[in-house]
Structure 1
């Protein structure tokens, strides 16, 4: 029997890193709900999640997720990860920069009857935007403020 932790690990490892989007239909329930505070359209459904993954994988086609910790208790599984990839495609209106980025995050999943039914995601979006040059870093802001 597959454990909830094994089901959840398929998301970062198989869907995100390997790009197997067909696995979304296998492991996510049809009534899946995604909670992403960085999205204006929150909450989102399974089709929205597929588009979310496609968007990021097109922008960072070599993305690799490293699951650093996975903890399961009952229907809840929490994953802490680091994602790394190279910005090679358009992302949020930004042309490819060629920058290699590293972003950490955590996700909490609920698994019912062998399917992921709900997910809450939180990642370092500010750090990602700084690595891509969309937002200045604190150091850059400090230098700018000190020269004025």
Structure 2
């Protein structure tokens, strides 16, 4: 038996497994932003979150996304291909305090990038900080996002903003109605 599973838990599992097999890891967790140097699609997605979501630069939406980008996800799906995705961004940013997105996991191929992220923000009413997690997959074509699929923990976000009662998901799982 090798020592692959006996190393400290703080070392990423995939790195331990890759080291034991002699292979190089495709993904590391937690993600090290310094590793983006060789990951152009990850850099594009990182820029997307910093510029559009973090800084609120809505002009960057048209520079980063294609005009007919296919979008899927709870809130993202509100933006039809013909509509202005920046309206969705503006609506969410108006509900939240400053947003800082950190990638915890990243995978990238020739045209696809997938990230797990943590978005740190706050409730603007009382300044109470909170975090939500999410995953985004994007296909990049000619340096722009051509397809984006996202899932974010909007239940938690709306709970933290006071728009849903605490433990709303648990209540819904019991079959009860929110009221």
Q: CA separation of 1:127/1:87 partners in 2, compared to 1, >3 Å: closer, same or farther? A: same
Alignment correspondent of 1:114: 143
Q: CA separation of 1:135/1:85 partners in 2, compared to 1, >3 Å: closer, same or farther? A: same
Q: Do the aligned residues in 2 keep the contact of 1:34 with 1:49 (CA within 8 Å)?
A: no
Q: CA deviation at 1:107?
A: 0.4
Task: Report the structure number with the largest CA radius of gyration.
Answer: 2
Q: CA deviation at 1:25?
A: 1.3
RMSD: 2.5
Runs of 5+ in structure 2 lacking a partner?
A: 1-38, 172-179
Q: Do the aligned residues in 1 keep the contact of 2:79 with 2:85 (CA within 8 Å)?
A: no
**Could you report, residue by residue, the CA deviation over 1:5-62 in whole angstroms, capped at 9, with x for unpaired residues?**
22222111221112222211111111112101x2495563274421111111111141
The 2-side partners of 1:23 and 1:40 are apart by 16
Q: CA deviation at 1:120?
A: 0.5
Q: CA separation of 1:14/1:108 partners in 2, compared to 1, >3 Å: closer, same or farther? A: same
The 1-side partners of 2:67 and 2:76 are apart by 22
Greater RCO between the two (CA within 8 Å, min separation 6)? 1
Question: Which structure dedicates a bigger proportion of its chain to strand?
Answer: 1
Runs of 5+ in structure 1 lacking a partner?
A: 89-95, 142-148
Q: CA separation of 1:46/1:105 partners in 2, compared to 1, >3 Å: closer, same or farther? A: farther
Q: Do the aligned residues in 2 keep the contact of 1:104 with 1:124 (CA within 8 Å)?
A: yes
> Which of 133, 150, 153 is 1:124 aligned to?
153
Q: CA deviation at 1:131?
A: 2.3
Asked if 1:24 is matched to 2:61, the reply is yes
**Could you report, residue by residue, the CA deviation over 1:85-108 in whole angstroms, capped at 9, with x for unpaired residues?**
1222xxxxxxx4543221000000
TM-score (norm 1): 0.75
TM-score (norm 2): 0.63
Secondary structure at 2:57 match in 1: coil
Alignment correspondent of 1:144: none
Q: How many residues align?
A: 131
